């Protein structure tokens, strides 16, 4: 009987240790006035490429990151270029072979914890890539002086 309990406990430990979601922050891109931030991050729940999803979270800079609040997600694309053209206008460029799993063309304040009358319009563009990555050094563009 003890052997059966030991094996059941070991099986549970193995499943628990191998499971679980991992979140990696890739980069953050502040809005031109610095009041908001767009965060690109990757969520993995396994070792295969199909187990990874790249997501975008937009929030007030004063709010803490919440990986469950995202406005865009894709599989098979591991990179993006974020460009703020104004505090309420965002452009997301993603690899052309990506599989888009979630897109919001307008981010409303109520869903991302900023003022309910605020909204951010988002434009999405495909771009050729090398195996899902862009060969560029800079991935964040905004109107802030460098």
Domain ranges of the chain: 21-141
Closest CA to 76 of 38, 133, 139: 133
pLDDT digits (tens, 9 = 90+) for 49-79: 567 899 999 999 999 999 999 999 999 777 8
Q: Rounded CA gap, 58 and 37, in Å?
A: 6
Q: Rounded CA gap, 89 and 106, in Å?
A: 9
**pLDDT at residue number 13:** 35
pLDDT digits (tens, 9 = 90+) for 74-98: 997 778 999 999 999 999 999 988 8
Spatial CB neighbours of 135, under 8 Å, sequence gap ≥ 6: none
C-beta atoms surrounding 23 within 10 Å: 11
């Amino acid at each position: 009987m003890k052997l059966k309990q030991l094996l059941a406990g070991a099986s549970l430990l193995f499943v628990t240790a191998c499971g679980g979601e991992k979140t990696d922050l890739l980069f953050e891109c502040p809005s031109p006035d610095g009041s908001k931030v767009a965060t690109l991050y990757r969520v993995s729940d396994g070792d295969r490429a199909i187990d990874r999803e790249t997501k975008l979270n937009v929030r007030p800079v004063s709010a803490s990151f919440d990986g469950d609040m995202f406005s865009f997600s894709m599989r098979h694309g591991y990179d993006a270029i974020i460009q703020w053209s104004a505090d309420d206008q965002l452009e997301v460029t993603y690899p052309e072979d990506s599989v888009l799993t979630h897109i919001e063309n307008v981010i409303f304040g109520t869903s991302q914890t900023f003022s309910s009358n605020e909204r951010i319009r988002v434009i999405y563009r495909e771009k050729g890539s090398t195996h899902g990555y862009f060969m560029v050094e800079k991935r964040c563009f905004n109107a802030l002086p460098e």
